Amino acid sequence: MTSTVLLLHGPNLNLLGEREPEIYGSATLEDHVATARTAAEGAGLTLEHLQSNHEGDLVEAIHGARGRCAAIIINPGALTHYAWSLHDALAAYDGIVVELHLSNPNAREPWRHTSVISPVADGSIVGFGGHGYALAVEAVRWKLS
């Protein structure tokens, strides 16, 4: 069994730390990746990361994880609510899938309450800010044990 975890970030998450800090906090994307990497190393896992503002890049990364990665942790950003291509790619992936959001979409605007990712995820971690990254890695570790 592989010990590689693929961490994916969708559109605009490269702007973390600058974009709406009252919602998403002041930590940068690099800060969150570092948190996840530290948690992964502590759990004996290897972390790979990709952020893209292009849906197709994320689909390709999910396809590339098939048979290679034990898990995918995905923060799809706004793609959460309408990217059926991500849904379908994750449905065809045979590893663990953890959906991750810094904020709690269910406590925000009504259009954010629908996730097309949740039905194909093993679980979702929402609303815990940057701590959610360590929680997501812990969820993967637990599911692998």
Please write the tens of the pLDDT for every residue from 33-74: 999 999 999 999 999 999 999 999 999 999 999 999 999 999
What digits encode the pLDDT tens for the residues 73-87?
Answer: 999 999 999 999 999
The active-site residue, picked from 9, 24, 49, 93, is: 24
Q: Is 82 a catalytic residue?
A: no
Write phi, then psi, for 44 (nearest 5 degrees): 75, 25
CATH classification code of 4-144: 3.40.50.9100
pTM above 0.75, yes or no: yes
pLDDT of 1 reads: 54
- The per-residue pLDDT for 23 is 87
Which residue out of 49, 93, 101, 133 is catalytically annotated?
101
* Token pair 């998450």: residue: 13
pLDDT of residue 49: 98
Give the domain ranges of the chain: 4-144
Residue 101 annotated in active site: yes
